[in-house]
Amino acid sequence: MVDEEIKISKFQKFSYWLTETDFHSLKENLSPKGNDFFASRRAVCVPLSTEVEIGFVPPDAWGKYPFCRRPLSWYKASPFVGRILVVSSFDLDEYHFSPETVIQESDFKPPKLPDREGKLKLIEQESYQKAKPDEWENIDAEGPELHNQWLKMMGLRGVSYEELFITHCANHANFIEPTYFIVEKNEPVPYSIDKTSHICSACLEFFNIIGTRFKKKMVVPCPGAVLFAGMAANRYYEVLMP
C-alpha cells in the first residue's frame, strides 16, 4: 500500500521548536483569529497532514506510539528535548518566530542508491556510531511480535526485520555524514536512500533532529508519515533550513 506513488497537491509546512513560554505566547496571538491548535499526542507526524492547519507535539508525546517509541529516542538525545514542536501550514514570521525547517513537495529523483554493502559502510562511519542513541539499536527489546506486525503492515515478505533495520540505520547515517548526495550552490544535499516501506522515522529529518548541518535535505516519508499524515509514498520532499 505504501509503495504506491500518489499524486499530491501543493504541499508546504513550516516546523518550529518552541519553549513553553513562546508556545503559550503564540497560542494567545492566534486564538483570537480562530486558529485552533491540533494536539498530536501519539504519532508525531500527524501535524504534517494538509488537513491540519497548525498542530503541535508536546514533549511527553514523543515515544508513545509503539512503532515509534524506539526510533524517537533520537529526540531524547537532541538539543530539542523538552521543547514543543509546532508544525504550521503558514509562516509564523509575523509573530517573530523563524522556522527550523520548511518542508515542501519536490520532483527530485536520486542519481544513485546504495546496495547492501554501501549501506553497511554508512553504518560503520564513526559519525553515525557516535550520534546514535543506545535505545535506537536495541531492537531486541521490542520483541518479534511488533517486528512481524511492521513487516506485515508494509507488505514485506522474504526479509527479516534485522535486515530491514540495516536500511533504517544507513538512511539516518547518510544525513549525518552523507555518501549519497547532490551538490547545489557548492553545498551537499543529502537524500533518503530507499523507498517508503524501507524507511523509518523520517520525522527526524523533517524536523531537523538529524541532518541539522545541511541547509537542504531531500527526504522520503516513512510509512507513518504516509499513513497518518497523508504524505506521498516514495516521493522526495525538500526540507530547507531558512
Where in the chain are the domains? Answer: 1-242
From CA 20, how far away is CA 7, in angstroms rounded? 37
pLDDT tier, 8 (very low <50, low <70, confident <90, very high otherwise): very low
Task: Please compute the mean of the pLDDT values over residues 197-222 and round it to a whole number.
Answer: 96
For residue range 85-99, what is the model confidence (pLDDT) as tens digits?
999 999 999 999 999
Q: How far apart are CA 43 and CA 65, in angstroms?
A: 6
> Cell for 80?
530539542
| pLDDT for position 10 | 83
Instruction: Tell me the pLDDT band of 158, cut-offs 50, 70 and 90.
Output: confident
Strand 38-39: give its sheet, edge to edge. 38-39, 54-57, 84-88, 12-18, 101-105, 237-240, 216-219
User: What SS3 class is residue 18?
Assistant: strand
Residue 131: all three cell numbers together: 550520534
pLDDT digits (tens, 9 = 90+) for 78-136: 999 999 999 999 999 999 999 999 999 999 999 999 999 999 999 999 999 999 999 99
Q: Which of 130, 162, 132, 171 is nearest to 144 (CA)?
A: 162
pLDDT in tens, 25-51: 999 999 877 678 999 987 899 999 999
Beta-ladder partners of 182: 189
